């Protein structure tokens, strides 16, 4: 359970990291090489536009760097982190937007849970991935989340809007962005939210 990230932490980043130190310069992390990790990478590579794929890979890289600097005691399995970061926006593809009336986070969580159960038949593993994806846009300063959910939230908002960049060394940011270029990601992110608001005006993204 601990290695899957089911450990309670505050939703408030300032409470989770009360006295942030200077981040260290880090190189791009190697990607997990297990069959499950690589099969998940192949799946999202087929389904995602390159911009979304690179966003997911940046989220993974930022998460690894932030954990090393600020949460070294976390016993969080990097494969679990990887297969959560990769499909966290799977609900935004055109096909998946058309297939359901659910908001993209919810449908993405359901799809990812089904994929994980098919591949490894581990319910705890599949459950944590699903909950992270469902909650990854549900940002707040009150209440609690769990370690894997918090780090994905931090890294997602960092890449989407540049918030919390003080937690990443500029050289790390530069290395990750050279490996996985942004190439207009901010505009792509806004367009994805606009598309969901147009198709599903009850979704609530416009109020976030």
What residue ranges do the domains of the chain occupy?
A: 8-13+33-199
Distance (Å, rounded) from C-alpha 31 to C-alpha 131? Answer: 22
pLDDT tens digits, one per residue of 76-121 = 999 999 999 999 999 999 999 999 999 999 999 999 999 999 999 9
Contact between residue 87 and residue 36 where contact means Cβ atoms under 8 Å apart:
no
Distance (Å, rounded) from C-alpha 179 to C-alpha 49? Answer: 16
* Global confidence as pTM: 0.94
- Write the DSSP symbol of residue 144: E
Distance (Å, rounded) from C-alpha 63 to C-alpha 148? Answer: 9
pLDDT tens digits, one per residue of 145-201 = 999 999 999 999 999 999 999 999 999 999 999 999 999 898 888 888 888 888 888
* Residue among 77, 68, 52 nearest 148 (CA): 77
Contact between residue 170 and residue 23 where contact means Cβ atoms under 8 Å apart:
no
Beta-bridge partner residues of 47: none
Distance (Å, rounded) from C-alpha 96 to C-alpha 180? Answer: 24
State whether CATH 1.10.3210 applies to domain 8-13+33-199. yes
Contact between residue 5 and residue 149 where contact means Cβ atoms under 8 Å apart:
yes
Q: What are phi and psi of 138, to 5 degrees?
A: -90, 70
């Amino acid at each position: 359970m601990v290695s899957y990230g089911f450990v309670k932490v505050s939703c408030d980043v300032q409470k989770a990291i009360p006295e942030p130190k200077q981040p260290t310069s880090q190189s791009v992390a190697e990607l997990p090489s297990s069959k499950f990790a690589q099969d998940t990478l192949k799946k999202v590579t087929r389904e995602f536009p390159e911009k979304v794929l690179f966003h997911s890979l940046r989220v993974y890289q930022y998460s690894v760097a932030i954990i090393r600097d600020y949460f070294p005691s976390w016993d969080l399995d990097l494969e679990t982190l990887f297969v959560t970061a990769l499909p966290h926006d799977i609900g935004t593809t055109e096909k998946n937007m058309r297939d359901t009336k659910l908001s993209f986070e919810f449908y993405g969580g359901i799809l990812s849970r089904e994929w994980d159960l098919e591949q490894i038949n581990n319910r705890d593993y599949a459950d944590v991935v699903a909950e992270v994806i469902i909650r990854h846009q549900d940002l707040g300063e009150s209440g609690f989340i769990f370690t894997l959910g918090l780090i994905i939230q931090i890294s997602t908002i960092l890449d989407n809007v540049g918030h919390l960049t003080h937690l990443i060394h500029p050289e790390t940011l530069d290395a990750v962005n050279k490996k996985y270029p942004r190439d207009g990601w901010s505009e792509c992110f806004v367009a994805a939210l606009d598309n969901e608001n147009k198709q599903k005006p009850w979704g609530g993204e416009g109020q976030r």
